[in-house]
Amino acid sequence: MNLERPDEGRHILKLDGKVAIVTGAGREGKGIGRFVAFALANEGADIVIADFVPEAAEAVAAEVKALGRKAIAVQANVSDPADCEAIAQRALDEFGHIDILVNNAGITRDALIPRMSEQDWDLVIDTNLKGTFNCTKAVTRTMLKQKSGKIVNVASVMGLIGNPGQANYSASKAGIMGLTKTTAKELGSRGINVNAIAPGFIQTAMTDELSESVRNDIASQIPLTRLGTPEDVAKLVLFLCTDDSSYITGQVINVDGGMVM
């Protein structure tokens, strides 16, 4: 263990020289992916912003550049394997290597099971679960050659406990947890860490649509008595992308204020 004390006042960047792909990072305002991109960039990483909406991806890439890091925007539908291969290739063409993948892209199409259409079931599974698989597969060859890499998958506590009206979403997030553990077992011997985080109720554009009384009711059921913030999630993702977590793999870590115990 290195116990040397760093120079006073000097912040050593934990991801200096690293290249990170963050999917679903183009959401404006409180999007988790956007804050993850900022957290990684603030520690020295150059960022590939992948999003279905090209203008949203370009906007976040510009914000990352304003932090002093390199960034590129890639329009992609993660449910399409060819698009995911294109994300990885753009990263390699621009930066020469891929060190981090954060599978954050996800959607909801809520309805009770009797009213849920096959189209909405397929769309959520294809984006959330298949998209995570597609992007993971796209970066695996590069990471195996490097014998290093960090993959962080964004699941949800709904994958653990379920939620009425979210059979498709809950199933997709539970699937991500199983995929995470299998990927960690397959890639661990080559120096690649794979983990998942399971956010609870986070203050995003989605929860902003809830009434204040509903948000207060949710908060009252959480031991820490508040909804989480995108920064709460981004800090954990950052930890899992640094060498500080080098002996952690195959884990699903809740970020939920104690809601699920």
- Alpha-carbon span 242 to 50, nearest angstrom: 21
Phi, psi of 255 (to 5 degrees): -125, 80
- What's the burial of 126, exposed, middle or buried (CB within 10 Å: 0-12/13-18/19+)? middle
Cα 43 to Cα 2, 70, 192, 225: the distances in Å are 20, 12, 20, 30
Angle between helices 167-187 and 131-146 (to 10 degrees): 10
Catalytic residue among 52, 95, 169, 201: 169
Is residue 169 annotated as part of the catalytic site, yes or no?
Answer: yes
- Alpha-carbon span 22 to 115, nearest angstrom: 33
Question: Does residue 260 sit in helix, strand or coil?
Answer: coil
Q: Could you list the active site residues?
A: 169
